[in-house]
Structure formats: structure tokens, C-alpha cells
Amino acid sequence: MIIGTLVGTQAISERFLSKLHLINIDFPDKEDLSVIVVAYLSAIIRAFFPSANFSKPKVVKLAITMITIFNKIRDTPELHRQGFGSINPHDLVGWCNHLQFYSTLQSEHFEVYILEAMCYEALKIFSDRLARVEQKQTLLNILNDSIKADWDLENIADQASRH
């Protein structure tokens, strides 16, 4: 039975149904997601920040931070009360891709700048969906707490929110 109709599946052509199986793919699990994000970030940093001295372990650390923030945002119920919308791995991949727009960040403080750019993009992607000030503050707290825990830097998200 096709949902929303009274028509059985026999009314749909077999050719269409065979294509449907390719479309119905589940989201990646935690390990696969980390591999995908590390690959995206490695390619972006290598291509758009060639002079940045950002080693592979730091790229992995940045990916873990982004995945942690993504999971905390997705798992925080108060962010979903007012129609936040669905958060899925496509948002995370888009978040990685948006870092390429900061390719002019060539500095000896690249680590701080890329973290600030990451926070700014997170605020643009996720905060724009929020309606209440309390929800936006919760998002800022998630960003600040995650960066403090992983990078031992404070108020990076607060600095990014002022831009």
C-alpha cells in the first residue's frame, strides 16, 4: 500500500520501484560520519589553505569537535521545540564546505581563526533556524563548551557571534 493513497504497490511500475531502493539509504553511523567529515575537512584545508600549518591530527580533532557539536545540537530537546527542523548529516557536510569561503585566513594563528570561522558557520546554519533568544544562547553554550573541552580556548563562539 502506498502511504496517503488507497493504491497498492502493484499500480507502480517495477522500474520506478527499483530506483526507489537506491534513494532509501540510511544516514551514516558514527564511525562512517567521522571518516566522511575528516575526508571533507582534509580536502578543504589542503585545497583552500595550502600555506596553513594544520596537521592531520588537528584536522581529525577539528572533525571530532564538529561532530560533537552536531550531535549535541541534534540531541538537545529545547532546540527542537519551536520547529527547529530536522538536523541531518547534510548540514554537517555543508558546514564543512562553508569553511572554504575563509581561504584568506593565512596567519600564524590559523587554529584560532578556523575555529572562529567554524563557529560563525555553525551559528549561520543552526542559529538562523531558532526563534527564541534562550535557544540561541543554548547553541552558543554548546559551541563554547565543546571548543573549551577540545581545544582549551574560551569564548570563540562569542567572538564569532559578534561578526
Q: What is the pLDDT of residue 112?
A: 92
Q: How far is CA 50 from the centre of its chain?
A: 23
Per the domain annotation, does 66 fall within a domain?
yes
* Full residue range of the structural domain in which residue 119 is found: 30-161
Q: How far apart are the first and last CA of the chain?
A: 52
pLDDT in tens, 95-139: 999 999 988 766 778 899 999 999 999 999 998 888 889 999 999
d(CA 9, CA 7): 7
CATH number at residue 85: 1.20.920.30
Question: In the structure, what pLDDT confidence band is assigned to residue 1 with cuts at 50, 70 and 90?
Answer: very low
Nearest CA among 77, 42, 46, 74 for reference residue 60: 42
pTM, 2 dp:
0.81
Per the domain annotation, does 79 fall within a domain?
yes
**Domain tally for the chain?**
1
Per the domain annotation, does 15 fall within a domain?
no
